[in-house]
Structure 1
Amino acid sequence: MLCLFDLDGTLIDSELGIVSCVRHAFQQLGVPAPAELRHWIGPPLRHSFGPLLDHDPALVEAAVEHYHQRFHQIGWREHTVYPGVEAMIQRLRDAGHTLAIVTSKPQRHATPIVESFAFADAFTRLYGPDPRSPHSEKASMIAAALADFGADPAQTVMIGDRHFDIDGAVANQVRGIGVLWGFGSREELEQAGAHALTHTPGELAELLAA
C-alpha cells in the first residue's frame, strides 16, 4: 500500500514555529496580528494573509517573504514529533508499505524537518508545492505521487488532519484518513469526505494494518 502523509498536524506539532513566523511577518509590516492563529496551520499562506492585508498583492508577497525568512532561520526547528508517530511509522515500514510525505510546506522548509526525524529514511519521497503558488495543491501532488509510484488509487491512502488532505484524496479517488490529534476538527474532516477518522497514531497503524 502507498501511504501518503501530511506533515503539519499529522506527523509533527508545528504550532509554535508557524504561529511565531506569522506574528513576525505582521510585525515586520507594522500590522497587528490576529489574536487567534491556530487556524493558520494547514491553508496556504497567501490564502490566510490576503483578507487581513486587503488582498494587496505586494503586501501579501512581503508578508510571505518575511514568514519564509524567519522559518528558514529558526521556525523549522520549532516543532515536536507527536507521541506514537515514530512507532507507527516503523510498524508500517515493517509491514512493507511504501511511505511518502505530501505537504503544503515548500520543499525547502519541509526537507530539513523530515531529515531531522530519527525515522527519516522511512519516506521514499517528499512532495511540496511551488512556494509561489497561492493554492494548497494537495490534489496535484497526490496525482504526482500516484504517477511516480505507479500506484493503484484503490491501494493508496492520504493521511492528514485538515480538509485540504481529504479534498486532495477525494479528487484522486484514494481513501482519505483523517487524524484527530492535529489542527482540524472532526466536523471538517467528515464534511470533506474522510473515509475514516483515527484518534491516535497507534489506532491509525491498526487501521492500515487491517
Structure 2
Amino acid sequence: MKDKKYLLFDLDGTLTDPFTGITRSVQHALKHYGIIENDLNLLTPFIGPPLIDSFRERYHFSEEQAKEAVCYYREYFVEKGWCENKVYPGIPELLKHLQEAGRKLYVATSKPTPFAEKILSHFNLSRYFERIEGSSLDHTKMRKAEVMQSLLAQAGITEKGEAIMVGDRKYDVIGAHEVSVECVGVLYGYGSREELISAGADYVVPSVEALSALFR
C-alpha cells in the first residue's frame, strides 16, 4: 500500500489500550446516578463512540443528562483515567518505520484533543505525528467524520485517494467513508471482524504485525 502517503490513526483501541481508564471513568460517572457497575467489562462498549451517544443508548439518558455524565466522567479521567492506558506492543516501532519511510502520520480520535495530546506525549508518541485532531470539549465537534474533515482541512490534504484511516470500530470506517477516505480495520482493539466488515472496512488486519506488512 505504497500509494498511501497520509496515514490517519484512531487512538483508543488502535494505538493504545484505554480499557482501565475509560471504564473506571464511566463507572465513576454512573455512581452519580445511583448506578453501580462492578464489572468493568460491561462498560467496554463505551470505548470508541462519542460518550454522549453511549450514555444515551446504554442507559437511556436524556441529552442533558448525557452531557452532565460526561462532566462526571472527566472528573476521574483528568485525574487518573488518562494514564490508565498502555501502548499496544509494536506500535512505536511501526510509527517509527512509517515516518522514516516518508509517510505523513496523523491522529483522528473521538477523544478530546487535549486528552489525546497528553496521552501521546506521555508515551512519547507525539513526535511521530504531524497533527493530533480530536473532538472538542464543548461537544460541537464529536463525530469521527467531523474530526476527520477538520484534520484533512487543517493538514491541507486534498488528494483523499492518498489518505487512509486506521481504526478498530465501525465508527472509524463509517467516518472515513463519509469523507471519502478508505479505512483499515484492526482486530486487536475493540471491534469484531463482523462489525468492521458490516461497516464496509476496505481492509481488515488481525494484528500490529499484519498492519505493518500491509503498509510495506
Q: Same fold (TM over 0.5)?
A: yes
Tell me which residue corresponds to 2:71: 65
SS of aligned partner of 1:103: strand
Q: 1:63 to 1:87 in 2, by over 3 A?
A: same
2:27 to 23, 26, 34: 23
1:24 Cα offset (Å): 0.6
- The yes-or-no answer on 1:208 pairing with 2:215 is yes
Decide which of 160, 163, 177 is 1:156's aligned counterpart: 163
TM-score, structure 2 length as denominator? 0.90
Tell me the secondary structure at the aligned position of residue 37 of structure 1: helix
Greater shift in the superposed pair: 196-205 or 48-57: 48-57
CA offset digits 1:114-159 (Å, max 9, x no partner) = 1112332011111111223287421122222222233211100100
Paired letter, 1:114: L
Name the CA distance, whole Å, in 2 between partners of 1:182 and 1:193.
17
TM-aligned CA distance change 1:72 to 1:94, over 3 Å: same
Aligned to 1:33: 37
Q: Partners of 1:61 and 1:145 in 2: how far apart?
A: 24
Equivalent residue in structure 2 for 1:3, among 7, 13, 18: 7
TM-score normalised by the chain length of structure 1: 0.93
What SS is found at the alignment partner of 1:183? coil
Q: CA deviation at 1:43?
A: 1.0
**Separation in 1, partners of 2:148, 2:212:** 21
The answer on whether the counterparts of 2:52 and 2:63 sit within 8 Å (CA) in structure 1 is no
Match of 1:130 among 92, 117, 136: 136
Unmatched 5+ stretches in structure 2: none
Contact 1:142 1:172 in 2 (8 A): yes
Percent identity of paired positions between Structure 1 and Structure 2 = 36
CA distance in 1, matches of 2:27, 2:96: 36
Structure-to-structure mapping, 1:47-86, within 5 angstroms: 47-86=53-92
Cα-to-partner distance string for 1:38-70 (whole Å, 9 max, x where unaligned): 111001111111245543344322211110111
Which segments of structure 1 move beyond 4 Å, counting only runs of 4 or more?
none
**Aligned mates of 1:26, 1:162 — CA distance in 2:** 24
Encode CA deviations 1:177-207: one digit per residue, 9 max, x unaligned: 0000000011111111111011121211221
The Cα of 1:112 is off from its aligned counterpart by 0.8
Candidates 188, 196, 204, aligned match of 1:197: 204
The one-letter amino acid paired with 1:29 is Y
Which of 110, 113, 116 lines up with 1:104 in the alignment? Answer: 110
